[in-house]
């Protein structure tokens, strides 16, 4: 069994890992704002709306309507969840393409997505970036985020701070000055 020493704790919390987490939180805030705008403009199901509907149903339901009400709320939740993931997927791809390897959060923290061996093919990079985003989307959709959470935890399991979706797509998030 390996004992954590002060040196190994310093290696776990590195500058690149902290910057990646901060960039993720920044992007999550931006996507939340985008989601609010989309929901207001389109009237599509959103999580606060699902929660409100759930409370309304609980107040008005009788014992016989319990199953129907549950099915209705779950359908609304699934719709809101899928819409949220699709908006995040589009945000991830569009910003990474338009900002040359960075989302707004990565750009703010001076990070950039690049090929793991710094190869220069633009078409290959674009395709790998789309694959990376799709893998994140797919794990969130199919397994409700558990594989994505494990993927993020894997950032701490290797020296290059590669998440599982980075490894699969052969991409790495690096400091812009290092690229």
167: pLDDT strictly greater than 90 = no
The highest-confidence range among 10-14, 40-44, 47-51, by mean pLDDT, is 40-44
CB 169, CB 129: distance < 8 Å: yes
Task: Write down the pLDDT at residue 63.
Answer: 56
- Mean of pLDDT over the chain: 80
pLDDT digits (tens, 9 = 90+) for 28-47: 899 989 988 888 888 777 77
Q: What is the pLDDT of residues 133-157, one digit of tens each?
A: 888 888 777 777 676 677 777 777 7
Q: What pLDDT, on a 0 to 100 scale, did the predictor assign at position 29? A: 93
Distance separating alpha carbons of residues 118 and 154, to the nearest angstrom: 22
**pLDDT digit string, tens, across residues 57-95:** 777 765 556 667 777 778 888 888 888 888 999 999 999
Bigger pLDDT: 41 vs 6: 41
User: Is residue 170 predicted with pLDDT exceeding 70?
Assistant: yes
Alpha-helix runs per DSSP H in 61-177: 66-98, 104-108, 122-143, 146-153, 164-169
């Amino acid at each position: 069994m390996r004992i954590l020493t002060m040196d190994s704790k310093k290696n776990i919390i590195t500058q690149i890992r902290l910057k990646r987490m901060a960039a993720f939180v920044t992007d999550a805030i931006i996507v939340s704002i985008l989601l609010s705008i989309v929901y207001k403009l389109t009237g599509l199901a959103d999580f606060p709306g699902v929660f409100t509907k759930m409370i309304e149903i609980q107040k008005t339901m009788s014992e016989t309507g319990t199953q129907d009400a549950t099915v209705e709320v779950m359908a609304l939740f699934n719709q809101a969840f899928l819409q949220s993931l699709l908006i995040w997927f589009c945000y991830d791809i569009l910003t990474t393409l338009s900002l040359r390897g960075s989302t707004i959060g990565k750009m703010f923290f001076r990070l950039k997505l690049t090929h793991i061996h710094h190869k220069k093919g633009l078409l290959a990079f674009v395709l790998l970036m789309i694959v990376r985003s799709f893998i994140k989307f797919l794990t969130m959709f199919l397994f409700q985020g558990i594989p994505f959470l494990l993927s993020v935890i894997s950032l701490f399991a290797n020296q290059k701070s590669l998440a599982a979706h980075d490894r699969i797509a052969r991409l790495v998030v690096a400091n812009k000055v290092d690229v």
